[in-house]
Structure 1
Amino acid sequence: MEKHVLALQLSHILGEKLTRDWIYENIEVPKKEKMGDLAFPCFKLAPAFRKSPQELARELAPQLKHDLFECVQPVSGYINIFLNQEFTTEHTLKQILTERASYGKHSFGEGKTVVIDLSAPNIAKPFSMGHLRSTVIGNALANLAEHCGYETVKINYIGDYGTQFGKLLAAYKMWGNEERVKSNPIAELTKIYVRFHEEAKEDPELIEEGRGWFKKLEQGDEEALTLWKWFKDASLEEFDKIYQMLGVEFDLTRGEAYYNDKMVATVDLLKEHQLLAESKGAQVVRLDEEGLPPCLIKKSDGTSIYATRDLTAAIDRYQSYSFDEALYVVGHEQSLHFQQIKHVLGKLHFPWARDVKHISFGMMLQNGSKMSTRRGKTILLKNVLKEAIQQAKINIEEKNPGLENKEEAARQVGVGSVIFHDLKHDRRNDVEFSLSDMLTFEGNTAPYLQYAFVRAHSILQKGAFDPHQAETHLNDEKAWPLIKQLRAFPQIVEVAYKEYDPSKVAKYLLELARLFNQYYTHTKILQGEQLQKKLTLVYGFSIVIKEGLHLLGIEAPEKM
């Protein structure tokens, strides 16, 4: 709020030369408390007003007046603003208590729809740690979008088509065993898929065999379709178990194969716009002007490629949802692909092509290398989640053996630890898989945050706090850092969504929990004066940290 007030006042004072949005973006939060709670640098104003930054600061500072501002000082070309702590504390706590779970919500997304493509595992392959990133980043972005007012559509675009399935069909025909596949479908299909690639190194003709089976699948061969549907149904059943553990739901689950009979219309549209060109027997859309290699539409053998399906899917999604944004939460190794898709859609004169955005992320690494199913180098997410839950249960047994519902608490803590380990990293960075780091229940982890919430809940219970008796007029210097952090939550939500970066919420929550624990350590909350006021602050903290965890897709147990 105070940044908006400051930006509004400065824009009125400075006139039309600078917009309120520009001023808002340039307001800073000083690193040292002695320099104020907010600061505005006048250096960028100097050329436009032909005055030194120091002179501008001296002129502007006396004109800034508001109940929020305790003191406004010009210092070395900066305007330093100290907030009125008493006024700000009361306003912040009142707002949190009034809005509760809605605290931090925004309206800039109201009336708009965002479609989010996330998770997207391939059938007949294990749901590995490599699939975790798209799933939890996409789910967190959907939660953030909803908190900003958007209507969200979460789509799980299953990889159930393409030449790799021709290879799988070929592998099954050569080495598959029906009973073994029925008893353990994913593991058995992965085993023969890996074997296919190993033997293809010595026998290149196997690759042609795989292509032949994919062509059969595209042409509707009965045997190929029957096997493919069996593999798909078995895979989806396994995937659903993982999503249930993660607490992730989708509005639509749809495979690439859905667009098999719809791609003809897309190819016809490309022809109509005279975009198709022949290249070595294949059909492509040239992107020379964009500085990109051609986008392959049809291979020389006439089979389709995933670019054709992605173009068709994008058109279908706009026709179905009239989205304002279409986010593809896919690894950065697919950056070129999505650049090509966006430019081809633009060449088709779809104005919404500009709203198609690739939300890239780094890889989940194992010993510094990318995980790969075809090389048999992968770690199953299901196993990691189970181990995390088991470790959480052991910790709970050691620290709180009398706890009721241990199984449920262990699930919340264990799953939360896996999700948070991913989301605390900037999505653009690679993440090294480390089970020990994931399961550490101290430091920058979900259990650290969850325990801060548990501690707050316990304090409120011991103090018999009644929200209806809340008192917001707290006068406590030690509470000020925590108040400022609570006040920052709405801005963090906005920035996290606009930059498509859930790690901003994760890092915010770590600092929030640290400041709460600091306050708890140095303040006798249940003793002395201002009891109800201190409990109101604890209650406000509990609301914000619980909602922040929810945005990341993590539950907050009341006891652990």
Structure 2
Amino acid sequence: MMTILLQWSVEQLQPYVTQTREEILAVLEVPPRPGLGDVAFPCYALAREWRKPPDAIAEELAARFNEGASGVSAQAAGPYLNLSFDPQQWAPKLLAAALAHDYGHSAVGQGQRVIIDMSSPNIAKPFGVGHLRSTMIGNALANLYRISGYEVVTVNHIGDWGTQFGKLMEAYKRWGNEEVLKEAPIRESLRLYVKFHEETEEDDTLEAEARRWFWRLENGDAEALRLWQYFVSVSLEEFERVYARLGVKFDHTLGESFYNDKMEAVVSQLRELELLEESDGAQVVRLDDEGVPPCLILKSDGTTIYPTRDLATALYRKTEMNGDLLLYVVGGEQKLHFQQVFHVLKRMGVGWSHQCRHIPFGLMKIDGRKMSTRKGQVVYLDEVLDEAVRKAEEIIEEKNAALDNRREVAEAVGIGAIVFGDLKHNRMLEVDFSLDEAIKFEGETGPYVQYTAARGYKLLKTGMDKGLAVDEILQDGVYLYSAAAWECLKMVAAYPAAIEEALRVHEPSVLARHLLEVSKSFNRFYNQDRVITESSEETLAKLGIVAAAVQVLRSGLQLLGVKSPQQI
């Protein structure tokens, strides 16, 4: 990932090989151990041209390279040519780049608008830990797109329509109590929803009654609308409180109901294109050529279903919101659904169906259990956040009892532990969440990265307290040559490449893992090199590494949606 060093390596190698810059860059590697050098060039591709085995080519290249290169040495290691950059000459250049105020920013997406569908909880259901993944993966991706020059529009596609409202209304009419509902609307709604599914095992008329309620809702029945509006209003109020705590904001909150008046046009267009076919009384679009089951558009009773609304949604986001790229951060269990929707769009003749992308992720479990609102197996996110903050405050009190804003810092560390603890995993993996592991201040955790950044900030403050002008840091290679300093600088130098790769594969864990590596290399530098010394020049030079590492850690955490307190 060391973009700068890789680019420099291309410049160093070009006089000795006939490959283009792009061809050289494509094969360069980072050696597995620091002792093997900084960059490795495999010589396999030269074997045919040079008519020699790769090992012999590496030996010959090393000899020729070392005769002419300055500040860079070469060593053959089997079929690889390993390059080592002289830290005294090159460290100041790495440091200068890393201290730029816009470090990590790029303009690669300039002029393009990306619309990100994220979070999307269901009305009248609790905001559980399971909703965290879509919310925070989507938030991180939005930040990664922004720092890469894209115009980003975030949309919370609230689940405020569908047959579940018929179930809730029937349950409320049978077993509900208005006073209890007002006292605890979300918990009472969940209780009623769970009871409905329990009772359906004994009473097979309930499902039909629920469908009748939803039919009434779709046809503007006053009582159905009143109940629906109440469930929506209390749920949104609860959601906003949780989002504020997570530091997540949306450009638009548009429920599925927003697209109700837009679905008829979609159905009409499908009919005009002769794409609709009847199947057991329902209307479907067959996708046999794509190897995908038919996409249901209208149920047998004439009511709409998810694909209908998502087709209307995609068309609206493209034509009215002018999205160049439409992303859907939704669980992996919806893979088939989005395949069907995107294939139907393609059948409709739109030229942009390939710009729609499903960003799936694996389940989040608690102690090995999958959560289910139907069975009432929900772990409320708020309760987990409270517990994380409480544990963080206990640890902070042990480490720094005199900290003035302890509660505020505990909130940042506790919530950051949960967010980072999720985002450090590949998004396709199932996450079995453990709060005790996530809240630790050592190991691969958010608090470890936050604490490392705070430690670096304290060093910078110490320098300022000594009267040193930290904003005029010296980039003097004489003091930046140690192995620990050089390795730390190389990790800092890889930050832009980590952002680029995380965005390319839509994988925030790439950035999270990189921040862990920066933290490890910085702590090795901190423990092995004395930063604050009797020499102002040496101190300022080393504080340059500190400043660069702190900037990367704080900037990277911000991209992931994690706060970075200056003191912990």
Alignment-mate amino acid for residue 188 of structure 1: E
- 1:72 counterpart (71, 74, 83): 74
- Name the structure 2 match of 1:381: 381
| SS at 1:422 equivalent | helix
- 2:552 counterpart (528, 531, 544): 544
- Name the structure 1 match of 2:170: 170
State whether structure 2 residue 123 is matched by structure 1 residue 123. Answer: yes
Q: Deviations over 1:106-148 (max 9, x none)?
A: 2211111111111000000000000000001110111111111
2:208 & 2:53 partners in 1: Cα distance?
Answer: 73
- Name the structure 1 match of 2:26: 25
State whether structure 2 residue 401 is matched by structure 1 residue 398. Answer: no
1:460 & 1:480 partners in 2: Cα distance?
Answer: 19
Alignment-mate amino acid for residue 472 of structure 1: Q
State whether structure 2 residue 5 is matched by structure 1 residue 2. Answer: yes
Deviation at 1:5, TM superposition (A): 4.0
2:170–2:210: 8 Å Cα contact kept in structure 1?
yes
The TM-score with structure 1 as length reference comes to 0.95
- Name the structure 2 match of 1:526: 532
- 1:90 counterpart (77, 80, 92): 92
Gaps of 5+ in 1: none
Deviation at 1:324, TM superposition (A): 2.6
User: Where do 1:204-283 residues align within 5 Å?
Assistant: 204-283=204-283
1:365–1:431: 8 Å Cα contact kept in structure 2?
yes
Going from structure 1 to structure 2, the CA distance change for 1:60 and 1:349 (only over 3 Å counts) comes to farther
Higher alpha-carbon deviation: 32-41 or 194-203:
32-41
Alignment-mate amino acid for residue 334 of structure 1: Q
Higher alpha-carbon deviation: 50-59 or 186-195:
50-59
Alignment-mate amino acid for residue 53 of structure 1: P
Deviation at 1:509, TM superposition (A): 1.0
Q: Deviations over 1:407-450 (max 9, x none)?
A: 21111111101101101111110001222222223221111111
Alignment-mate amino acid for residue 94 of structure 1: A
User: Where do 1:100-139 residues align within 5 Å?
Assistant: 100=101, 102-139=102-139
1:194–1:373: 8 Å Cα contact kept in structure 2?
yes
Going from structure 1 to structure 2, the CA distance change for 1:49 and 1:323 (only over 3 Å counts) comes to farther
| SS at 2:312 equivalent | helix
The TM-score with structure 2 as length reference comes to 0.93
1:521 & 1:103 partners in 2: Cα distance?
Answer: 26
Q: Deviations over 1:453-502 (max 9, x none)?
A: 11111111122242332101133313111011011101001001111111
Alignment-mate amino acid for residue 214 of structure 2: F
Going from structure 1 to structure 2, the CA distance change for 1:64 and 1:226 (only over 3 Å counts) comes to farther
- Name the structure 2 match of 1:510: 516
Give the percent of matched residue pairs that are identical in Structure 1 and Structure 2. 46
1:496–1:502: 8 Å Cα contact kept in structure 2?
yes
User: Where do 1:383-532 residues align within 5 Å?
Assistant: 383-464=383-464, 465-473=468-476, 474-477=479-482, 478-529=484-535, 530-532=538-540
1:236 & 1:250 partners in 2: Cα distance?
Answer: 13
Alignment-mate amino acid for residue 480 of structure 2: N
Alignment-mate amino acid for residue 199 of structure 1: E
1:66 & 1:430 partners in 2: Cα distance?
Answer: 52
Going from structure 1 to structure 2, the CA distance change for 1:159 and 1:51 (only over 3 Å counts) comes to farther
Higher alpha-carbon deviation: 77-86 or 455-464:
77-86
Going from structure 1 to structure 2, the CA distance change for 1:44 and 1:286 (only over 3 Å counts) comes to farther
Going from structure 1 to structure 2, the CA distance change for 1:258 and 1:10 (only over 3 Å counts) comes to farther
Going from structure 1 to structure 2, the CA distance change for 1:25 and 1:351 (only over 3 Å counts) comes to farther
- Name the structure 2 match of 1:36: 37
| SS at 1:358 equivalent | strand
Higher alpha-carbon deviation: 329-338 or 469-478:
469-478
State whether structure 2 residue 143 is matched by structure 1 residue 143. Answer: yes
Going from structure 1 to structure 2, the CA distance change for 1:93 and 1:66 (only over 3 Å counts) comes to farther
Number of equivalences: 556
The RMSD of aligned alpha carbons is 2.1
Alignment-mate amino acid for residue 88 of structure 1: W
Alignment-mate amino acid for residue 467 of structure 1: V
| SS at 1:274 equivalent | coil
Higher alpha-carbon deviation: 335-344 or 362-371:
362-371
2:6 & 2:510 partners in 1: Cα distance?
Answer: 19
Q: Deviations over 1:70-122 (max 9, x none)?
A: 1133432222211232233111211222x23x211122111111111110000
2:305 & 2:565 partners in 1: Cα distance?
Answer: 46
Going from structure 1 to structure 2, the CA distance change for 1:182 and 1:67 (only over 3 Å counts) comes to farther
Deviation at 1:64, TM superposition (A): 9.9
2:269 & 2:67 partners in 1: Cα distance?
Answer: 60
- Name the structure 1 match of 2:327: 327
2:418–2:439: 8 Å Cα contact kept in structure 1?
yes
| SS at 1:550 equivalent | helix
1:115–1:327: 8 Å Cα contact kept in structure 2?
yes
Deviation at 1:399, TM superposition (A): 2.2
1:67–1:87: 8 Å Cα contact kept in structure 2?
no
1:461 & 1:42 partners in 2: Cα distance?
Answer: 48
Deviation at 1:45, TM superposition (A): 4.9
1:68–1:83: 8 Å Cα contact kept in structure 2?
no
2:470–2:543: 8 Å Cα contact kept in structure 1?
no
Going from structure 1 to structure 2, the CA distance change for 1:393 and 1:51 (only over 3 Å counts) comes to same
